[in-house]
Amino acid sequence: MRPVLFLIPKFSLTVYLVLLGAEFLLFSMLFFLLRKRYDEVKKLKSDLAGYFIFFLVIITLLFFFGPFPVRTYGVAVAIGFLFAIMVASRLAGKINVSSSPIFDMGIYILAGVIAGSRIFYVIFYDWSYFIENPLRLFAIWEGGLVFYGGLLGGILCGVYYIRKAGLDILKIADVVGVALGVGYFFGRLGCLGYGCCYGKTAPDSFPFRIHFPAIGSPLTGYTPAFADHLEQGLVTVHSGHSLFVYPVQIMESLSGLFLFLLLLFLYQKRKFNGQIAAFFLLFYSVLRFAIEFLRTEPVFLGITTSQWIGVLVFLSGLFLYKWARKKNLSGA
């Protein structure tokens, strides 16, 4: 594992000015190259302005506050987001929806995923810590994101944008349902790189068990698994690594890849709009429920919090399937 991939050094004034000039030239070239592909030049200017400001903020932050650590988790989430957008854009083209609203929707969904996953973590896992340390609420690069919270936040923000843009909710939901799998695949690899969301202690007979080093990097200190085992007295400060655990991050990552390939196949054979989105909720909740038995999570009435949420997600999938099917049959 490698929580921090590398450090971006603090920029000097010369480098800062050179990068600003390069950014201006790059976006000017993009405008001239893409202006004929956009239906509205005003829309192109708006999109490019948003990206220009985004990179301008990053460059400025590095100038004033560098060096900046590039963390594995953030890179994995970013790659997952980009691949998910590419998949969604490609599938949307087959239902006569252009790439522009899909990318815009992706921004809304990403914001909802980050906010929802963080809020769920704070509420269900570490409420007292964030009451004492409120500023740590924004330190999402340290982990502490719950997928189900992100799923709910992403759905709410996605539905809001789809209605605002006047798109068909069920058609777009099917596209997103396929794309989520590939995003989840990369996201869980990020968990592995950071060391969060680790599994229970695995027996010697389990052939694919893994362990985490005591120190992930000088910037992050003890890895989550090692810190947990140290607190329980299972290892000492002189131990080189945690106990062997189940590789649940890899299991969940592969489950995301499996869902992506399965739903991509089923998408070609769907019988009504909304079917694939319902399948994602149903299949994911079942896979997560099973893997959750191998994770170290708080238990409530015999199963973990995530498993209880998974039950609700499964029931939501059943409701969506029946409602979408009925809507299709009635021609509404």
Q: Would you say residue 123 lies in a domain?
A: yes
Continuous segment of H or E residues that includes residue 68: strand 68-71
Burial class (CB in 10 A: 0-12, 13-18, 19+), 65: exposed
Whether 27 and 136 share a structural domain: no
Is pLDDT of 290 > 80?
A: yes
Radius of gyration for the alpha carbons in the chain, expressed in angstroms and rounded:
22
If asked whether residues 259 and 120 sit together in one domain, one would say yes
User: Exposure pattern of 231-247 as b/e (b: 16+ CB <10 Å)?
Assistant: eeeebeeeeebbbbbbb
Q: 77 in a domain, yes or no?
A: yes
For the chain, how many structural domains are there in total? 3
Containing structural domain, residue 1:
1-66
Query: Would you state the pLDDT for residue 37?
Result: 61
The span from the CA of 253 to the CA of 193, in Å, is 12
User: Would you state the structure tokens that stand for residue 31, as one six-digit string?
Assistant: 């405008």
Residue with tokens 């490698």: 2
User: In the structure encoding, which two tokens stand for residue 159, read together?
Assistant: 């539905």
107 and 130 inside one domain: yes
Name the token pair of 90: 């490609």
pLDDT at residue 218, as a whole number = 63
- Together in a domain, 119 and 264: yes
Domain for residue 117, yes or no?
yes
The more confidently predicted of residues 216 and 76 is 76
**Residue whose entry in the numeric block shows the structure tokens 């991509």:** 264
pLDDT tens for each residue of 193-211: 888 889 999 999 999 999 9
Rounded Cα gap, residues 155 and 149, in angstroms: 10
Please tell me the distance from the alpha carbon of residue 180 to that of residue 276, in angstroms, as a whole number. Answer: 11
258 and 180 together in one domain: yes
**How far is the C-alpha of 88 from the C-alpha of 237, rounded, in Å?**
47
For residues 35 and 168, state if they share a domain.
no
Residues 126 and 93 in one domain: yes
Computed over every residue of the chain, the mean pLDDT equals 85
Q: Which of these three, 275, 291, 319, is where a domain ends? A: 275
Higher pLDDT, 215 or 276: 276
280 within a domain of the structure (yes/no): no
User: Would you state the structure tokens that stand for residue 137, as one six-digit string?
Assistant: 């609420």
CB within 8 A of 10, min separation 6: which ones? 62, 63, 65, 66, 67
Question: Are residues 137 and 111 part of one domain?
Answer: yes
Question: For the chain, how are helix, strand and coil distributed in percent, rounded to 5?
Answer: 70, 10, 25
Note the pLDDT tens digit of each residue in 115-132: 888 888 888 776 777 777
The answer to whether residue 88 is domain-embedded is yes
In a domain, 296, yes or no: no
Do residues 237 and 264 share a domain?
Answer: no
Same domain, yes or no: 128 and 268: yes
Residues 107 and 158 in one domain: yes
3-state SS, residue 295: strand
Same domain as 125, residue 101: yes
CB atoms within 10 A of CB 32: 8
Mean pLDDT, rounded, for 72-82: 86
- What pTM value is reported for the model? 0.80
Whole-angstrom distance, CA of residue 302 vs CA of residue 56? 50
